[in-house]
């Protein structure tokens, strides 16, 4: 089945649910067994069938099967948040004394995990420029247990040649992990591109309504079992209501992404004509430095991008953003609502340089009418100009 069809039909089996279209939510911890023999058999392999609430319910299994199928993965594991998914991926593949190579443009909490928890565990992290393949090749000469990638990069949206870097890492014996949240399972087939573990903050586009916390990891053959065992040993189980919202979100994922991308494209066209905008960082925008890689490897875009303002714009940013009526200011993204956030990529970089002369705004194009979003930004830019002019 093509994606649009599978999104509607995958992860549900009405014949097993009295004909109900959606699988039911199981609020369950204890599972009862009919005999000692059945109990002992379940203990020997808790991942076969329903064993205990922490190991999942039929609803969890349907959601995970749908994600695995979409990602062309051996299996998927649901956890309680996107950061939990990142944590499980790293903890499943490293041990004390190992070294991890991490792209310098990753999500900030990924860095905090590496520099905090992993460091205390005796795992060292080295950051590299993901747009300079030779940097990774050189670092791999000293060995690494894993390479962690994110494309496009968090906040700054650099595109990375994932197939090439993944091939280099795997040839050196390193596991390849990728945060694939921006593209979703239908925008980039990370497993097909050579990634071992494709990580999604399902909180964002998969759930799609800013009302649940959920993470999911799609895994290749080698790492599926270690990942699910690590997740359950840590107690990182996803709540049944959140899993239900994740599975429900899949039904409209393609339709929503089309609208997000349409609105992002419309906003970029308007922003590109504003003299206060120095650059647009959106891989699906033709002038973006990563556009060719996006066209080559990705099947679709989403609605998250950044703009760089001209130097000297700082005095006008607060007046501009404070009185926007449709763009909210808040963390996360991927919901139906539009968001804007001032960000400073320089504060979370170590292997690459960010030019701090250009103030950066991260924008999420929601599902509103694009003309209304443009009008809201137009009024905001007018306030920006007045503030700069004094």
Distance of CA 182 to the CA centre of its chain: 5
User: Could you say which of 54, 222, 296, 353 is catalytic?
Assistant: 54
336 noted as active-site residue: no
- Cα separation of 152 and 160, whole Å? 7
The encoded tokens of residue 117 equal: 């928890």
Give which of 282, 71, 68, 75 is closest to 186, Cα–Cα.
Answer: 71
User: Could you say which of 12, 98, 104, 107 is catalytic?
Assistant: 107
User: Could you say which of 12, 111, 189, 204 is catalytic?
Assistant: 204
Structural contact between residues 71 and 190, judged by C-beta atoms closer than 8 angstroms: yes
User: Could you say which of 179, 196, 242, 376 is catalytic?
Assistant: 179
44 noted as active-site residue: no
12 noted as active-site residue: no
Structural contact between residues 123 and 175, judged by C-beta atoms closer than 8 angstroms: no
107 noted as active-site residue: yes
Query: Residues near 302 by Cβ (< 8 Å), separated by ≥ 6?
Result: 182, 183, 184, 187, 205, 257, 260, 261, 264, 334
Known catalytic residues? 54, 107, 179, 204
């Amino acid at each position: 089945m093509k994606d649009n069809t599978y999104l509607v039909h995958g992860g549900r089996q009405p014949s097993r649910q009295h004909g109900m279209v959606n699988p039911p939510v199981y609020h369950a911890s204890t599972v009862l067994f009919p005999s000692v023999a059945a109990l002992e058999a379940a203990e020997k392999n808790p991942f076969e069938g329903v064993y205990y609430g922490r190991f999942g319910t039929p609803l969890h299994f349907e959601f995970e099967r749908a994600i695995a199928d979409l990602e062309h993965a051996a299996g998927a594991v649901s956890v309680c948040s996107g950061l939990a998914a990142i944590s499980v991926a790293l903890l499943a593949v490293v041990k004390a004394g190992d070294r991890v190579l991490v792209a310098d443009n990753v999500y900030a909490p990924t860095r905090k995990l590496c520099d905090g928890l992993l460091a205390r565990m005796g795992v060292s992290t080295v950051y590299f420029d993901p747009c300079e393949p030779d940097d990774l090749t050189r670092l791999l000469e000293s060995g690494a247990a894993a390479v962690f990638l994110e494309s496009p990069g968090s906040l700054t949206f650099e595109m990375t040649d994932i197939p090439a870097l993944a091939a280099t890492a795997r040839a050196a014996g390193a596991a390849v992990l990728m945060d694939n949240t921006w593209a979703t399972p239908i925008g980039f087939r990370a497993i097909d591109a050579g990634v071992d573990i494709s990580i999604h903050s399902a909180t964002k586009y998969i759930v799609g309504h800013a009302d649940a916390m959920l993470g999911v990891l799609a895994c290749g053959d080698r790492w599926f079992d270690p990942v699910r065992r690590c997740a359950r040993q840590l107690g990182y189980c996803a709540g049944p209501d959140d899993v239900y919202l994740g599975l429900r979100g899949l039904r409209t994922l393609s339709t929503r992404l089309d609208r997000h991308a349409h609105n992002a494209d419309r906003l970029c066209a308007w922003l590109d004509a504003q003299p206060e905008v120095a650059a647009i960082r959106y891989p699906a925008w033709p002038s973006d430095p990563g556009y060719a890689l996006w066209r080559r490897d990705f099947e679709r875009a989403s609605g998250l991008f950044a703009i760089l303002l001209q130097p000297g714009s700082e005095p006008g940013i607060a007046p501009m953003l404070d009185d926007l009526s449709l763009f909210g200011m808040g963390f996360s993204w991927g919901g139906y609502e539009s968001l804007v956030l001032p960000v400073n990529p320089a504060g979370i970089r170590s292997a690459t340089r960010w030019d701090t002369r250009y103030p950066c705004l991260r924008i999420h194009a929601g599902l509103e009418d694009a003309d209304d979003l443009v009008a809201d930004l137009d009024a905001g830019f007018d306030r920006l100009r007045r503030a700069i002019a004094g």
